[in-house]
A and B are shown apart, each in its own frame.
Chain A
Amino acid sequence: MGKTTDAYIDKLETLKSRCVVTPFANAIIQARGISDQIAGQEKIMTERHAAIIGQTQVKGQLKSGVGGGDDAVSKDPQFAAAEKKAETLNEQFVKFSLDVLAPARKAIVDTVAAINTTITQFETFVNAKEKSWFGSKDSVPKARQAIKSAKEFAATLRQLSTVSARLSA
Chain B
Amino acid sequence: MRNIADEIAKKRKERQAVLTNLQTAAQAAQAVTQNGAKLEASLKAAKTALKTVKD
Interface residues of A (CB under 8 A from B): 3-6, 9, 12-13, 16, 19, 21-22, 24-25, 27-28, 31-32, 35, 38-39, 42, 45-46, 49, 64-66, 68, 70-71, 73-74, 86, 90, 93-94, 97, 101, 125, 129, 132-133, 135-136, 138-139, 141-143, 145-146, 148-150, 152-153, 155-157, 159-160, 163-164, 166-167
Contact check, B2 vs A156: say whether CB atoms are below 8 A apart. no
The chain B residues found within 8 Å of chain A, CB to CB, are 1-6, 8, 11-12, 15, 18-19, 21-26, 28-36, 38-43, 45-50, 52-55
Question: B47 contacts which of A9, A16, A152, A157 (Cβ < 8 Å)?
Answer: A9
Additional 20 contacts, C-beta under 8 A, given A6-B50, A35-B15, A167-B22: A5-B47, A9-B46, A13-B40, A21-B33, A28-B26, A39-B12, A46-B5, A73-B4, A86-B11, A129-B55, A133-B53, A142-B42, A142-B45, A142-B48, A143-B46, A143-B50, A159-B31, A163-B25, A164-B28, A167-B21
Q: Is the CB of A136 within 8 A of B52?
A: yes
| Identity of the chain B residue whose Cβ is nearest the Cβ of A157 in the assembled complex | B32
Cβ of A117 to closest chain B Cβ, rounded Å:
16
**Bound form: Cα–Cα A3–B43 in Å:** 15
B4 touches A28 (CB 8 A): no
How near does chain A come to B11, taking the closest CB pair, in angstroms?
A: 7
A21 CB contacts on chain B under 8 angstroms = 29, 32-33
Contact among A38, A129, A145, A166 for B21, CB-based, below 8 A? A166
- The answer to whether B2 and A65 have CB atoms under 8 Å apart is yes
Contact of A163 among B19, B28, B49 (CB under 8 A): B28
Q: What are the residues of chain B within 8 A of A35 when measuring CB–CB?
A: 15, 19
In the complex the two chains form, what is the Cα distance from A23 to B37 in whole Å? 18
Contacts of B43 in A (CB 8 A): 9, 12-13, 16, 146, 149-150
Provide the residues of chain B in CB contact with A65, threshold 8 Å: 1-6
Which B residue sits closest to A26, measured CB to CB? B26
A167 to B21, CA, bound (A): 7
CA distance A149 to B35 in the complex (A): 7
